[in-house]
Structure 1
Amino acid sequence: MSETKEPAVGALAEVRSVIESLDDKSYVSDAPGIDPMTIGQHVRHILDFYECFLRGAHEGVIDYDDRERNHDVETVRTVAIERIDSLVCALATVTGRERPVLVRQQTVVGTEAERCRTSVEREIAFLESHATHHLAIVSIIMRLIGLAPKPDLGVAASTLAYRNSR
């Protein structure tokens, strides 16, 4: 695995670890006060972005709006784990990290999707950042439903490095 891909794969491993630490009920429990929001929904969202990246990296246009939104991934832990395992394998096949690609994403409701130039390498870095952001929300949901997440769940690597340097 290249250094570029390691953080993105590490984020998937962190998601897998969270799923494995939960029971089926916790995975689909709505967080009180912020309904409807479940851990499974955030897991599905994270994995959808990886799928969009993998599909688009090979086609030359990554469309993060064209997500599958597979209900089974957000409701069945084993399905999510299987999907993570397949994504890790698929990431290993991505080549041409400096290769330019376009990202297509709708930023304002009711307008045409925007396209911007980027690279495979930059989008891999985005996947890790996006996953970390959603793992922070997962951490909050876990607390709201009475679970104790790992203290550094959803904390960016740069924040952890800063904390360790103090």
Structure 2
Amino acid sequence: MDIIIESSIQTLKKAQALLNNLTDDTLCNKSVSPYYSSIGTHIRHILDFYDCIFSVNLENKIDLTARSRNKEVETVCCSAKTYLNSIIEKLNTFELDMTDSLLVTDDLGLGKVTMTYSYGSLFAQANSHTIHHYAIINYIMEGLNISFKDSEFGYNPTTPKQTSLN
């Protein structure tokens, strides 16, 4: 298995551990300022990004703006776990070459643009994107006083480790 796929699976498995420690009420709680988003909206958004990758069409094109946005995934832990497990299963069985090219459409803020990517670059982006949203989830959990025992959750592997001041 390719290291990029392995990294994505490892990163997504952190969401499995998180979802096992949440209730439906905490998953959809939007009370934390300043953005008032929920853990569930971020989990759904992460999984939708991967789902778009697996929705490549016959012309070898992917549209990252065509997300499913299933609201139940944002509010029901069981639905989020099912969606997450389906994405991990697709990653486990992914067989295309990471150097293969495809066309990816996204909206970068000035309208849709289509760019040439490799599968490797797209999966690397998805993994970094996931870690970024985990950082936001960490912030939300702090605001909700939710403890999650993973000191690396939401931290990019390239972030320097803080050392003790003792």
Q: Separation in 2 of the partners of 1:66 and 1:116?
A: 16
Matched ranges for 1:16-165 at <5 A: 16-56=16-56, 60-94=60-94, 95-108=96-109, 111=111, 113-149=112-148, 150-159=150-159, 162-163=160-161
Amino acid at match of 1:97: M
Deviates more, 1:137-146 or 1:54-63: 54-63
Amino acid at match of 2:161: R
Alpha-carbon shift at residue 88 of structure 1 (Å): 1.0
Contact kept? 1:106, 1:114, Cα under 8 Å:
yes
Q: Separation in 2 of the partners of 1:97 and 1:58?
A: 18
Q: 1:158 to 1:77 in 2, by over 3 A?
A: same
- Runs of at least 5 residues in structure 1 that lack an aligned partner in the other structure: none
RMSD of aligned alpha carbons: 2.1
Q: Separation in 2 of the partners of 1:146 and 1:153?
A: 16
Per residue, is there more helix in 1 or in 2? 1
Alpha-carbon shift at residue 129 of structure 1 (Å): 0.2
SS of 1:155's partner is coil
Q: Provide the TM-score with structure 1 as the length reference.
A: 0.89
SS of 2:62's partner is strand
Deviation readout 1:10-35 (Å, 9 max, x if unpaired): 12101111111112211111133235
Deviates more, 1:22-31 or 1:70-79: 22-31
Q: Separation in 2 of the partners of 1:80 and 1:41?
A: 10
Alpha-carbon shift at residue 108 of structure 1 (Å): 2.8
Identical-residue share of aligned pairs (%):
27
Q: Separation in 1 of the partners of 2:144 and 2:57?
A: 37
Contact kept? 1:57, 1:101, Cα under 8 Å:
no
Alpha-carbon shift at residue 3 of structure 1 (Å): 1.5
Q: Provide the TM-score with structure 2 as the length reference.
A: 0.89
